[in-house]
Amino acid sequence: MSNFNWENTQEQGSSNEAEKLPVGRHAVTITKVIHGGKNGPFVSKAGDPKILIIMEDSTGKEAATMVCLSDNAAWVLARLLKVVHPKVDLAAMTKDGVKPAQFADPEFANVNLTGRRLTIDLEDAGNGYMDCVPVEAPDAKTEAKDVPSDSDIPF
């Protein structure tokens, strides 16, 4: 009788990674905001915090985009915030003094991003990665997962 090898076991039909969305236009919902990995918090070379925004379509396929939370790179996050549904009140964020770095707080990021719907164009960046471009689209409706009501969202 041979020994059972515990080191080569894995759950059947399970994977750590969801199936990825292909190149093209997709209606998605932001499902997670990840602030770090096994090596600690995500940070830029300059030391600014970064977040990984995970989006999912109605079939469970995923796309992700890494966003630097520096003032100089805030245009990337602003581009996304301008097209999400429910809409983000950017004027209220400005009035309340919200800075990009505040999205480094997991609670703040989750309340203000998770559950929002948007349309994205996924483009092959040619380096093994995909560029995720948020677009203003009238067809931005998707079956959102746990979408908070407008009254539950601060901005």
- Asked if residue 3 is part of any domain, the answer here is no
- Asked if residue 7 is part of any domain, the answer here is no
pLDDT attached to residue 142: 44
At 140 the three-state DSSP class reads: coil
- Asked if residue 6 is part of any domain, the answer here is no
- Asked if residue 150 is part of any domain, the answer here is no
What range does the domain containing 55 cover? 18-143
- Asked if residue 80 is part of any domain, the answer here is yes
Nearest alpha-carbon partner for 29 in 106, 109, 130, 143: 143
pTM, 2 dp: 0.79
pLDDT in tens, 43-68: 999 999 999 999 999 999 999 999 99
- Asked if residue 30 is part of any domain, the answer here is yes
Confidence band (pLDDT; 50, 70, 90) for 153?
Answer: low
- Asked if residue 86 is part of any domain, the answer here is yes
Confidence band (pLDDT; 50, 70, 90) for 109?
Answer: very high
pLDDT of residue 15 exceeding 60, the answer is no
pLDDT of residue 86 exceeding 50, the answer is yes
- Asked if residue 153 is part of any domain, the answer here is no
The domain tally of the chain equals 1
At 25 the three-state DSSP class reads: strand
